[in-house]
Structure 1
Amino acid sequence: MTALPQYERLEAPGLWRETPQAQRREVIVSFGNTSLVISDDRSSAALAHWSLAALVRRNPGTRPALFAPSEDPGEELEITDETMVEAIEKVQAMIEAHRPHPGRLRRIGWIGTGAVALFGLLLWLPGALVEQAARVLPAPKREEIGRMVLADLERSTGVACHSSAGDLALEALADRLGGVAQIAVLPHRLGGARILPGGVVALGQDTLIGLDTPEVAAGAILVAQAAQTGEAPVHAFLAWAGAGAALRLLVTGDLPAREITGYGAALIATPVALPQRPTETDALLAAFKTAGVASTPYAYALDPSGETVLSLIEADPFRGAPAPEPVLPDAAWLALKDICS
């Protein structure tokens, strides 16, 4: 049954007219199984059956209530009985709740699709901003950011070491290795070197102590370069700084120092590891060969026994033979060793 059980025997008086021009007449309104039954109040003869599912309220919220069997002009029923009006509206609400709503399902589908798309956009956008900023950033700006990162490193390590002869030796080492804009020696143990944006290199003083050869310092830089595994230093920095910093760079071309604060400490806390896979080791040894630097001195600086660095010793591209040219002349190497004195 369509009607709610509590309204099966509900009846109420009403005023009904068959056409807009007809006189209104008194009727009795009652519920049928699926319809509203309109009967003559004297003879009880049924005058009309209106489908409850199609019933239309012409004046919502107003009393007396006016109902019609459809949206089309024609029959009309006026009811003043509050209980009957409430019953009709409850039954209609029940029918509406059980009726299929394709449009609503479509809206839900569109909303769901939109939510998924928005979620995907939120996941994709930060990475896309970082990628775009890292790709379009000009070389001078990269180098500027590298020097800002170096300044942040100095907060943890102390100011970079300088001397007239030592600075000239660092310039010679940068030229010797290629792809390096600036090398700074920090008075702190870094466990090697750190490659900063723009070709700026931070070299720990520990690379100048130990074996009496500049190949150790050069090797530390080559290993740090190889450890980037294809990710440009500026991309690594922007990934750390976040999408906000990348967006600011794209829009204004500038980056406040506060966006860099803390990155230096993060670099110090992240050690540079030797490659583990054979293909990576081969690539590192190829870099030593291209740079004209022997890998054995660096290997023994890491492990004097040589046991954990056999691949760098046994496959040294210049094993048993001198490199094409010294990494640094003796005088420059001595000046570099004393740069922090």
Structure 2
Amino acid sequence: MTALNQYQRLEAAGSWRETAKVEPRDVIISFGDATLVLTDPKTDVPLTHWSLPAVTRLNPGVTPARYAPGIDDDEYLEVDDDLMISAIEKVHNVIEANRPPSRHLRGWVMLGALILLAIGAVIWIPPALLRHATDIAPPAQRAEIGRMVLAEIAKSTGSGCSRPSGDMVRHKLAARLIGPDADIAVLPVSLHVARRLPGPLTIIGEDMIQGEATPEIAAGHILAAQAAAAEADPLLEALRFAGTRATFQLLTNGQLPPHALSGYGEALLSKAPPRPEDEHLLGYFARAGIASEPYARALDPTGEAVLGLIEADPFRTATPKPVLGQRDWAALQEICDQ
């Protein structure tokens, strides 16, 4: 989209309030792939992505401009940079101009398609429908679907491990590696890799914190899960499994049917997630202040298959800050102890 490409490097400061119960915080606003990306200026960690087609101006003609990710959302963003305001308005207008003629027309088209599918007993998942549902899903909806996926996974693995001291450490680790509202669940099994679920939720197995594992190796797997999720949205994968009817209900009612993801946990664990591109992943290590070589050596002790992660380690000639102190690491290692 020409209008979006024009502003790809545009950034501005803003004030973001996630919910009505928290104070606004300073953020850096930039354009992503048809999204507004809000980033913590202190850590450069992305805090949230807003779908540009869903962005709503709450106070037209007033400065600072106030935007929300949806018309009924408590979350809002205030911007007083004239160029950023103009860019958001222009890109949003272009997106609106390229929308289908009307929401009602889309509804009738979908209804007709569903009737034909029912008559023919054929299930067809329109890619546009799935992508649209993924793009406009607010953070609360993503988090709820992530909890549904975790509940399905727990049927195969058992519930997530929990001890007071270990819980404090996993929340601390999630805040550093992912973001202030993120969470990491430790499951009492060997998963071999970390996986990002819809919402700010990542799962790891007990094998990530036991045996020869180190905080740096565990952190590397968690960062790899974030990089993989940026390349393949976990929500989109979950909706593909849920199917057309469930996705349509999500769009119309705001919730998936209770059993839409039944069996998804087992299906998710049965296949290995794709490994992210080295260049993309190294950016996550650099922003988190963590060396990539320990993670790379854990994948391949010879280093042959992970040479890019070793040679381009952002801390190859410097000493990074420890991921966790010895006491915190010990507490995390004991989180699954009964």
TM-score (norm 1): 0.59
1:235 and 2:236 correspond? yes
- Could you say which residue in structure 2 is the equivalent of 1:340? 336
Provide the rounded CA distance (Å) in 2 between the counterparts of 1:274 and 1:213: 20
Provide the rounded CA distance (Å) in 1 between the counterparts of 2:147 and 2:124: 30
- Could you say which residue in structure 2 is the equivalent of 1:158? 158
Task: List aligned pairs for 1:233-272, cutoff 5 A.
Answer: 233-272=234-273
* CA deviation string 1:128-156 (max 9, x = no partner): 22122112222111101101111110111
* Contact 1:194/1:221, CA 8 A, preserved across alignment: yes
* Structure of greater Rg: 1
Counterpart among 310, 314, 323 of residue 313 in structure 1:
310
Deviation at 1:331, TM superposition (A): 1.4
- Could you say which residue in structure 2 is the equivalent of 1:167? 167
* Contact 2:142/2:198, CA 8 A, preserved across alignment: yes
Identity %: 49
Provide the rounded CA distance (Å) in 1 between the counterparts of 2:255 and 2:113: 29
Deviation at 1:127, TM superposition (A): 1.8
Provide the rounded CA distance (Å) in 2 between the counterparts of 1:167 and 1:211: 21
- Could you say which residue in structure 1 is the equivalent of 2:216? 215
| Cα 1:295–1:211 shift into 2, 3 Å | farther
Task: List aligned pairs for 1:133-148, cutoff 5 A.
Answer: 133-148=133-148
- Could you say which residue in structure 2 is the equivalent of 1:60? none
RMSD (CA atoms): 2.4
* Contact 1:172/1:328, CA 8 A, preserved across alignment: no
Deviation at 1:303, TM superposition (A): 2.3
Provide the rounded CA distance (Å) in 1 between the counterparts of 2:296 and 2:196: 20
Provide the rounded CA distance (Å) in 1 between the counterparts of 2:125 and 2:334: 48
Deviation at 1:219, TM superposition (A): 0.7
Provide the rounded CA distance (Å) in 1 between the counterparts of 2:335 and 2:184: 12
* CA deviation string 1:41-73 (max 9, x = no partner): xxxxxxxxxxxxxxxxxxxxxxxxxxxxxxxxx
Deviation at 1:125, TM superposition (A): 6.4
- Could you say which residue in structure 2 is the equivalent of 1:281? 278
* Contact 1:130/1:238, CA 8 A, preserved across alignment: yes
Deviation at 1:339, TM superposition (A): 1.0
- Could you say which residue in structure 2 is the equivalent of 1:326? 322
Provide the rounded CA distance (Å) in 2 between the counterparts of 1:294 and 1:227: 18
* Contact 2:169/2:328, CA 8 A, preserved across alignment: yes
Task: List aligned pairs for 1:195-214, cutoff 5 A.
Answer: 195-211=196-212, 213-214=214-215
One-letter amino acid matched to 1:338: E
Task: List aligned pairs for 1:73-222, cutoff 5 A.
Answer: 126-179=126-179, 181-211=182-212, 213-222=214-223
Paired residues, what number?
A: 219
Provide the rounded CA distance (Å) in 2 between the counterparts of 1:246 and 1:173: 33
Greater than 4 Å deviation, 4+ residue runs = 121-125
Deviation at 1:218, TM superposition (A): 1.1
TM-score (norm 2): 0.60
* Contact 1:127/1:243, CA 8 A, preserved across alignment: no
One-letter amino acid matched to 2:286: K
* Contact 1:165/1:335, CA 8 A, preserved across alignment: yes
SS in 2 for 1:198: coil
* Contact 2:249/2:257, CA 8 A, preserved across alignment: no
One-letter amino acid matched to 2:171: E
Provide the rounded CA distance (Å) in 1 between the counterparts of 2:178 and 2:197: 15
Deviation at 1:124, TM superposition (A): 8.4
* Contact 1:187/1:204, CA 8 A, preserved across alignment: yes
SS in 2 for 1:259: coil
Provide the rounded CA distance (Å) in 1 between the counterparts of 2:200 and 2:230: 15
* Contact 2:152/2:262, CA 8 A, preserved across alignment: yes
Provide the rounded CA distance (Å) in 2 between the counterparts of 1:126 and 1:242: 10
Provide the rounded CA distance (Å) in 2 between the counterparts of 1:126 and 1:322: 49
* Contact 1:174/1:183, CA 8 A, preserved across alignment: yes
| Cα 1:248–1:221 shift into 2, 3 Å | same
Q: Gaps (5+ residues) in structure 2? A: 1-111, 118-122
Provide the rounded CA distance (Å) in 2 between the counterparts of 1:299 and 1:177: 17
SS in 2 for 1:318: coil
One-letter amino acid matched to 1:226: A
Provide the rounded CA distance (Å) in 2 between the counterparts of 1:293 and 1:262: 36
One-letter amino acid matched to 1:328: L
One-letter amino acid matched to 2:249: R
Counterpart among 284, 293, 298 of residue 296 in structure 1:
293
